[in-house]
Every structure is written in structure tokens, then in C-alpha cells.
Amino acid sequence: MRPNIGIVNALIRITLGFTLLAWATSKMGRRCHKGSPLFVALIGSMKVAEGITRFCPVMYAVEQQQDKMPADDFDLGPMNPS
């Protein structure tokens, strides 16, 4: 697993993830029967993990798709609209 995000991006993800986790924890302490704070906690923990490992699975999937796409090598030449 090679890191595919930079240091600044990782620090932003860690900060945002801990912020989301703190918010979700405070909301779950008041009313734990609602589902949205649990979902936010899962997203926050995922962002913290991405920041610590510096690996984003979504970016990896996008990079893999871009590698599979054929390159635009054809030239249309000059396009004159008149």
C-alpha cells in the first residue's frame, strides 16, 4: 500500500476526522437512538485512518480507472467556427 496523498492533505484529513468524531460523540451522548451521528462517526474515523496511513481508497480507484482509459491521441486540427 503506497501513500497516494500528500502530507498537507493527510493533516487536513486527520483534523477533519477528529472534528467529525468529536461532534458525533457529543451528539450520541445525548440521543443515541438516532443514526446520523453514528454515520458521521464512521466517516470521521475513516478520514482519520486515511490521514494516518496517507492512503485514500477512492483516489486509488480513480487512478486505476484513469490508467485503463485510452489516451486522447487524435488531433482534430484547427477548428474555425465561421
Tally of structural domains, the chain: 1
DSSP letter assigned to residue 33: T
35 located within any domain: yes
Q: What is the pTM (predicted TM-score) of this model?
A: 0.74
Report the Cα 72 to chain-centroid distance in Å.
27
pLDDT tens-digit series, residues 7-63: 999 999 999 999 999 999 888 887 666 678 889 999 999 999 999 999 999 999 988
Max Cα distance, the chain (Å): 67
Domain span at residue 47 reads 8-56
49 located within any domain: yes
Cα-based distances in Å from 26 to 19, 22, 29, 55:
11, 6, 5, 28
